[in-house]
Amino acid sequence: MVPVPVVAAALSLALALAPAAARADPGPGAPGDASTKSALASVVAGNRGALPADTTPVYFGNGCFWGRQKDFVDTEQALGRGAVSAVVGYAGGEGGAGSAGKVCYYYSQPGTVYEKLGHAEVVQVAVRNERAAEDTRAFARTYFSQFKRTPLGMIRLDPQDAGPGYRNVIGLPGGIRSPLMEVVREENVNGMRLVEGRGNAYEKRGVLGALGSPLPREDDAVNTVYVMDTDAFPFYRAENYHQFHNGIGKAFPAAYTRDLKRQSLESGLIGETGCPELPF
């Protein structure tokens, strides 16, 4: 690839149903005062697109989002979900939205480029509140199947796309303390490191930072997945030309790249973001 609110009732239900081990996961809560949380809630609401009110969005990232979106669409269809919810976008950066509230791909205005804002490429999917564990399990199973074993540990299917913009992330309501986290752990069959994500940012630190460009706080690491709190690190939908795109070196059926994309535009699942739309 070229360089390219959480529903309160749902969370209460999931907390009630979750195993005690999942509810008791230790660690500090997400940072931010009331005004910051309110602004983030607005971002979450704005990026829900046409998702049904009885669903909760989560996201998964591990490299180029083009082919990964197709995998999650296939998973939704296998679950008999009817209309799909999988859309590509950006998440996980401490910088939030950039200039004029935009998060864009490369070739956009300075201050809006997703990787410079600390974000990674991700796919957002909707978990049905009444089937939260079932849906999360299916999505997590798909996610962990998108890695391969090497002597160094589990790596992505597209290791040529490297850097913090392609790092492995999972976004859940509540992050690593989410009641859905137990399901994710159970599907982590290859024992990848699941660490609490605190948001990527670029900092000048150490010898390398002092000598050159700022270094990423949360970098692209083999066998490691950063688990983000979607309340603190919301999803920003990507441009339309990235949606329902062919994979890297793999053409998908027109029913996916043309028909499903058109349906998603008509339903409002995807739409204009204010970022440049490019012809690829």
* Model pLDDT, residue 242: 97
pLDDT at residue 146 greater than cutoff 50:
yes
User: Computed from CA positions of residues 54, 143, 134, 171, in that sequence, does the dihedral angle turn out positive or negative?
Assistant: negative
pLDDT, greater one: 1 or 80: 80
pLDDT of residue 210: 59
Round to whole Å and give the CA distance between 271 and 265.
Answer: 6
Contact call for residues 119 and 200 (beta carbons, < 8 A): yes
Task: Locate the domains of the chain by residue range.
Answer: 8-267
The answer to which of 6-10, 225-229, 247-251 has the lowest mean pLDDT is 6-10
CA-CA distance, 35 to 49, in Å (whole number)? 23
Q: Give the model confidence (pLDDT) of 65-95 as tens digits.
A: 999 999 999 999 999 988 899 999 999 999 8
Question: For 86, what's the count of Cα atoms within 13 Å in the CB-facing half-sphere?
Answer: 29
DSSP class per residue in the chain: -------HHHHHHHHHHS-HHHHT--SPPPP--HHHHHHHHHHHHHT-TT--TTEEEEEEESS-HHHHHHHHHHHHHHTT-SS---EEEEE-BTT-S-GGG--B-TTS-TT-BTTTTT-EEEEEEEEEGGGHHHHHHHHHHHHHTTEEEETTEEEES-TTS-SGGG--EEEETTGGG-TTHHHHHHH-TT--EEEE---B-EE--HHHHHHSSPEESS---TTEEEEEETTTS--EEPPGGGTT--BTTBPPPHIIIIIIHHHHHHHTSS---SSPP---
pLDDT digits (tens, 9 = 90+) for 187-203: 999 999 999 999 999 98
pLDDT at 127 over 50: yes
Nearest to 141 by CA among 96, 184, 98: 184
Taking the model in full, what pTM does it have?
Answer: 0.83
Task: Using the structure block, give the residue that is written with the tokens 């410079």.
Answer: 116
Q: What is the distance between the alpha carbons of residues 30 and 105, in angstroms, rounded to a whole number? A: 27
Lowest mean pLDDT among 1-5, 93-97, 260-264: 1-5
pLDDT the model gives residue 37: 53
CB atoms within 10 A of CB 107: 12
